[in-house]
Amino acid sequence: MQVLCSLRRHGFAAFLGIALALGGCGGGGGGGAGSVFGWNPVGGGQEPPPAEEVVDSDARFAAMDRVDLQFEKITGGRQTATSAEWEQLRDWARAQPEFADAGVGDASFWARFKDGRHYLLTDNWRVPAGVVPESLPESPKKKAGLANTALDEPTGSVIKSVPASAKAALFIHSGPPAPQDNEFELGAPVLRYMKDALTERGYTVTRNALNVENLKQMGEVGFLYFNSHSAMYGPDDNVKEFAVMLDDLATPYNDVIYGDDLKAGNLIYHRKRTLAQTHGFGNPPKLAFTSKFVTQYLKFAQNSLVITFSCNSGNAQSTVFRGALKAKGAGTIVGWDGLSSPNGYPAIELLVDRMAGVNKFEPVAMPNRSFVFADVMKYLGQRGLLTSPGVADDHGHITPNAFLRTDGSGFTKLAPVITHLEMKADNMLAVHGDFGDEPGEVSVGGVPVNAVWGPTEVKALLANATHGDVVVTARNLKSNPRQLGSWQGRVTYQSKRVDPSCAGATFIADVDVDLHLRADMQARRTEVDGPLKNNHSVIVPANDTKGQWAASGKCIEGGRVVQGHSGSGALSLLPFVDYKDVAPFSDIVYARLNAVEKRFHVGSTFGKSQMTLQTDDTSVLARLQIWYQLSDYFYDGSPSWPQDERFPHAFYLPLDAKLNAGQGQTDNQDPSSSGMSLKFQWGAMQVSPELKDTVGH
């Protein structure tokens, strides 16, 4: 077989020289086959290799073939090699004339040729038995405790902006040639989820083959994900070099095309072990990129995120590779400490899904808003997903667990994050969240509005009619939407006192308010997949809210007015002020939207409008008599006042599941039989826009 392989390589080299001489220069060079067992090469467009380089390549490939065949002799064709068998291979390789050194790693072998190039043989990626695409085991539910997340604990610093580039690149290894099973097939759904989530947040996403040319042409990105074989190599036990397998085949042709990169150590040779190797149709050797390749060709935007889904990418010893990523601009690197496997896919899917707030993977009944990186990592830890369970080998042994690690704190969020909305005085919308320190844009109902930018609060003055989806955009990346709803309708108060001492005289104060409320339609959520909470922010009505009052009633004895209430006029509602700035004896109407129980809390005080109070022959101005103590809620002065009520007294206005209000009334009588009552009535209020079930809380 060795002779046959050698003849095929020489025949291919001769054919290549003729083809190039006839065809001239052309493009390509991103891939190729033609290695050990006769795969057909692709690519081209360069000068043929000199004869001595073909011979040198042939010697290297022959040595790599011998290593693989020798290993199958050592293992006897068993699926899982022992540490002793890997060490036996190392000792054998050190005696081969082509190699200057050799060593072993975690289910991996490396050798250094005498010309300085390296070769990796790995068997460290294992697929759980019986698992097919789209059917990974459900990830564990939330549990107490936080798994160890070192290297660096992620931080949620709000002073850092979103990634400076809206470009995202996704790569996954193509796997072995047919008819072998593709060990990365389970990762294909991950890329689909990820691409949809990133696109929704404004990223331009490319999903390409993991080859040399695509990496070189990737450009500056704000998000990078790759899933492939990888391993550490080199003699230093404390700090190792690290390489990630590409789709490019290692061939004599690619030895020339990428000769400079191979000589410089930007690229090395890498083969994934298969049992079929002994039968002549196993995995071909491929190229792999190293930290030196990263340094020469890759570039990352400020505050970018790199997810390295490959074995040992998060190990303490592989700092050289991660250091190169950070030196080229990567803000944070996520990688696996130990042997990664498809058992870790749910963690990555949830990481991106919950940061993006798209709720496509393991959706909860009430969808999540977007969350910052630190919040999602904490959530993954609480669910035990920062630990990837080991996989059983053919001896029945379970490989050690792998752990998701982070390195660097530059990345804090995929895009701007809106936590909640607040309508303040004078039609001022306050958007709360994590936006970063670089100003961006705000739109309401699809229309841009002028905004004053802050890292955690963005303010915008709205017209009376402005409402709809609120979106914050920074560096072309879009936040999760939040719905600013609008309700308009009339509410009325009728405060009545029947005076039994004066032949049933009735004193009435009527207040009608044409109310316009705008509020955050979604409930609040302060932790990923956590319980829904009410937004306790006080809603200041829109500036087109107005009202009027009237007072009536007389007590007449002996033809003489003993007491009389009279007067009418407009309420003095404007200018509205924030609730904390309300002065005593004002005309005010405020509200809170309880999005969990589906109701408004409507509180009011009418202390500025004054009626005429007549007593015998004297007339004075006095405040309207409104029996606030008969409200649905009234603070009686006790120290146990529930602060979440916010208002000292309020009526509850019920809403349906879509947050619409049907007309209704509450008529509360004084239980002490004093003749006092307070009636609160409201007309139907249809919310605009319609509540969307897909918008996150």
Find the helix or strand (DSSP H, E) in which 554 lies.
strand 554-557
CA distance 436 to 440: 9
Closest CA to 249 of 307, 209, 299, 291: 209
pLDDT at 129: 66
Residue 618 CB partners (closer than 8 Å, separation 6+) = none
What pTM did the predictor assign? 0.87
Closest CA to 40 of 284, 261, 287, 288: 284
Domains and CATH numbers, the chain: 417-483 (2.60.40.10), 484-682 (no CATH)
Burial class (CB in 10 A: 0-12, 13-18, 19+), 479: buried
Q: Determine what percent of the chain falls in helix, strand and coil, rounding each to the nearest 5.
A: 20, 35, 45
Residue by residue, DSSP assigns 663-680 as -EEEEEEPTT-SSEEEEE
∠ CA(222), CA(223), CA(227), 5° rounding?
Answer: 155
Low pLDDT (below 50) residues in the chain: 1-55, 134-137, 142-157
Residue 10 CB partners (closer than 8 Å, separation 6+) = 54, 58
Report which DSSP code applies to 104.
Answer: E
pLDDT at 502: 87
pLDDT at 286: 95
pLDDT at 359: 94
Tell me the C-alpha to C-alpha distance, in Å, between residue 615 and each of 40, 497, 561, 563. Answer: 109, 16, 7, 5
100 by DSSP, 3-state: which? strand
Residue 84 CB partners (closer than 8 Å, separation 6+) = none
Cα-to-chain-centroid distance, residue 229: 25
Residue range 568-609, pLDDT digits in tens: 999 999 999 998 898 888 999 999 999 999 999 999 999 898
Task: Give the Cβ contact number of residue 523 at 10 Å.
Answer: 20
Which residue shows structure tokens 């994900």? 225
374 by DSSP, 3-state: which? helix
CA distance 499 to 675: 7
Cα-to-chain-centroid distance, residue 107: 33
